[in-house]
Structure 1
Amino acid sequence: MKKNDIIIICITILYSVLFFGESAGINFLFFNLVIIGTLRSLHPKVALSSTIVLAMVGSLLSSINIVWHNTHLSVVMNVISIVFLGGVFFNQQNSFFVAGINSFYSFFTSLIINISKKLFTSNNSQPNKSSASEKSYKNILIFLIPVSITILFISLYASANPAFAHLIQYIDLSFISWERIRFTLGGAFLVFSFFRQVQISSLTALDLNTSNFLLRSAATKRKIPNLISLKHEYKTGWILLLMLNIVLLIFNGTDLFHLTVGKLPEGVSYSSYVHQGVNTLIISIILAIAIILYYFRGSINFYKKNKLLKQLGNVWLMQNLVLVATIAIKNSLYISTFGLTQKRIGVYVYLILTVAGLITTFIKISRTKNNWFLIRINTIVFYIVFILGTFFHWNSIITRYNLQYGPQPDIEYLISISDNNLYNLLTINQPDIVLTDRQNVLLQKKKTEFLRKGKAQSFLSWNHNDWQTKQTIESHVEF
């Protein structure tokens, strides 16, 4: 058996030990350290490119934030970071985006593709000899296939014949944890897919052969493009962007007027004012970027008289930035009136990502970049934004804000969002907040469930947030 295969087996066992029956905690940090250390020990000559470093740092930071905050975002971003790490490490020539796509693809296809290659690809140079790796796969399947089919038929016969099922009950297999076996096999599948990366060859080739800049076509270089069509497209573009700029200017002016005056039109609520604004923003930004991508997709970038179109495109993007700012102000007004929620934080995240998309689109226009540039750079920007988001304990922030500043905090909402804000709920110290009987019952149920889950877990699930909550409960804080 090859060294890489032994490492895959060892990491699979470690995966089972660290995560079976456990929740998120120090186990994530330890597993990330092992993965990164294994990659470096197996491939010491691999140069640490900027994308590899980014994925490694993202993996470590998100796992550290799991230990400290134990938020769902930290767990999700750590899983995504590990996937990206495998992609950029084994597909070093690819962009961060395509390497990530290849890595996700590997988790669904790697096992099947690798086994098929080992078993059904002939070795033309040595037809009578099999590699050690191929023999290992065949030896595993020689044992695994008969055992699996036998177990399947035992299950079928047991369900078809009660007497046979009764007989099987006398076979004491209690020492075998079938649940752990299934979990470990699932881990083996994931670990194998991580270390045995496969690629979407067509997407990989496209990524490798495409630069970030638009290139003039042969026809454009010879100055014999379809000039009539180009002029027509140019005129259509600047007329469209001029009209859209006028409409958006009126829209932004109306918004800014009401925000400055501090009074909404009659019959308009804060809720509709904010939510309709967000919906408009989503549609507007998508259309804005789509229009820009369409008109600046090719020859028009090299048209000498395209200055007006570029200016209108830049004004259009800047007006959308103004729209982003007004939505942020309206969202803040809504939060100050009705309190903080996960969705309202999500609005801010969307606005940040929108600003990033508008700025990179502006760079595309001014520096004659292509659409691949937007995909590549925005993938990295979005990844960094969400990694930075793991540094914040969002549910705790929501709970503290609503209890301290919310005019009428929705206690039942705070109880429902997760159990990692339990510490904040148990230490409510606001004299004007009195829990109802129903709220007390829900909070007691939440505390009981938290303690029940904690009893079934070992030190591998330790994280600072849960530890702080347990300390509060043990100190008999009243709530």
Structure 2
Amino acid sequence: MPIALGGVFVFLLVSANPLLEKWVSLLNPGNTASHISLGRVLLWAAALSVVWPFIHVRWSGRREMPAYIVTAAALMQTMPSGQSNFFGAATILRLLILFNLLFAVQTILDAVYLWGNAALPTDISYASYAHRGAYPLIVTALLAAGFVLAAMRPGGPADQSPVIRSLVYLWVAQNVLLVISSILLLDLYVQIYLLTWWRVAAFIWMILVALGLVLIVGRIALNRSNAWLIRANLITLTATLYACSLVNFAAVIADYNVSHSREATGKGVAIDMDYLFSLGPQALPAIDRAIAFRGLDPALVSRRGCLVEQQVKDTAFWRSWGFRSWRLRRAMGAQSKSSTAG
């Protein structure tokens, strides 16, 4: 179990961090494996099988066992059958020690390069560091949450151990830091390549994952059931959906992209007009600003007219009236009056 699950987390952390990937590549295991001869391995394995019976001698008499082995054996005997072999307290303890050590490496790297603003190696850019890190780290946090729920089941062998509880709290804290680092990495990427629908959704999803991890700690600390945890997560999800329904994301994305574009700030990437138009009529105020930055392009003005016609068609009937469409119509009317007066 420690080797298998530890390998999964090592794979995710290496895929999320270009620095770790670079260090692993420096080990160059491929060249080392090329020097191994299969024939020699088989020869020495056969020789060992022949020699082993002559060197493996059982000493008579009882040998005194170390105290820690006696304690571990007593712990294994007190466990119910099946738990000591697969997912008992001893296995969970080893897993948590290994996971905390693995995540400590990622936490230290984030503290140095992400929070401490240390210079990255010349062959790794902040854009690649941010793009590679955000999403795999969220998958890592989700797997960690699943492991904690499975390990710290109410009434289980690990639930009664104060040492395991402390290691769980430490590991969840590292996972929360991991999610916060993912949010910062995505923010760095957005500062370079601007906003999209999927990046906004990723921000919201990361916040939900962090809240879910905090609720898991609350469930363990308060000795609540998994049903309580499910209800708390559903309440959090419902509140998030309700809050998101009140936000005009199309207008927010369009305004952010225009305000942080190369045309507006003199640095960064240029405005993606095709993406602005794909956001729909709610992006019209930002589109007008983008057209003003670029100059009167007849093609862009024609596409803007199509969006205006779509807005008029969508609000032609009273049943399609909405607060956002009313605000947009009012803003466009005020803008047309000011341009006419000018």
Q: TM-score, normalized by length of structure 2?
A: 0.65
Match of 1:453 among 311, 314, 337: 314
Please state how far the C-alpha of 1:325 moved relative to its aligned partner: 1.4
DSSP 3-state at the match of 2:315: helix
Q: Is 1:444 the equivalent of 2:315?
A: no
Q: Is 1:466 the equivalent of 2:325?
A: yes
What do residues 158-180 of structure 1 show as CA deviations (whole Å, max 9, x unaligned)?
Answer: xxxxxxxxxxxxxxxxxxxxxxx
Contact 1:274/1:330, CA 8 A, preserved across alignment: yes
Please state how far the C-alpha of 1:317 moved relative to its aligned partner: 0.4
CA 1:386–1:268: 2 relative to 1, 3 Å: farther
What do residues 98-154 of structure 1 show as CA deviations (whole Å, max 9, x unaligned)?
Answer: xxxxxxxxxxxxxxxxxxxxxxxxxxxxxxxxxxxxxxxxxxxxxxxxxxxxxxxxx
- Within 1, Cα distance between the matches of 2:151 and 2:320? 53
Contact 2:219/2:225, CA 8 A, preserved across alignment: yes
CA 1:294–1:432: 2 relative to 1, 3 Å: same
- Within 2, Cα distance between the matches of 1:345 and 1:406? 17
Match of 2:204 among 331, 344, 349: 349
Q: Tell me which stretches of 4 or more aligned residues in structure 1 moved more than 4 Å.
A: 227-232, 301-304, 472-475
Partner of 1:284: 140
Q: How does 1:2-401 map to 2 (within 5 A)?
A: 226-227=79-80, 230=83, 233-259=88-114, 260-300=116-156, 304=160, 306-401=161-256
Please state how far the C-alpha of 1:321 moved relative to its aligned partner: 0.8
Contact 1:339/1:409, CA 8 A, preserved across alignment: no
Give the percent of matched residue pairs that are identical in Structure 1 and Structure 2. 22
Partner of 1:413: 275
CA 1:262–1:344: 2 relative to 1, 3 Å: farther
- Within 1, Cα distance between the matches of 2:292 and 2:333? 23
Q: Which moved more, 1:295-304 or 1:285-294?
A: 295-304
- Structure 2 residues not aligned, in runs of 5+: 1-76, 263-269
DSSP 3-state at the match of 2:218: helix
- Within 2, Cα distance between the matches of 1:371 and 1:341? 35
- Within 1, Cα distance between the matches of 2:295 and 2:226? 55
CA 1:300–1:278: 2 relative to 1, 3 Å: same
- Structure 1 residues not aligned, in runs of 5+: 1-223
Contact 1:412/1:439, CA 8 A, preserved across alignment: no
Please state how far the C-alpha of 1:341 moved relative to its aligned partner: 2.0
Please state how far the C-alpha of 1:344 moved relative to its aligned partner: 1.8
- Within 1, Cα distance between the matches of 2:157 and 2:107? 29
Please state how far the C-alpha of 1:225 moved relative to its aligned partner: 7.0
- Within 2, Cα distance between the matches of 1:331 and 1:388? 21
- Alignment-mate amino acid for residue 312 of structure 2: L
Please state how far the C-alpha of 1:235 moved relative to its aligned partner: 1.1
Contact 2:138/2:206, CA 8 A, preserved across alignment: no
Supply the RMSD in Å over aligned alpha carbons: 2.8
Please state how far the C-alpha of 1:271 moved relative to its aligned partner: 4.7
* Greater RCO (CA < 8 Å, at least 6 residues apart): 1
Please state how far the C-alpha of 1:270 moved relative to its aligned partner: 4.5
Q: TM-score, normalized by length of structure 1?
A: 0.48
Contact 2:195/2:256, CA 8 A, preserved across alignment: yes
Please state how far the C-alpha of 1:229 moved relative to its aligned partner: 5.2
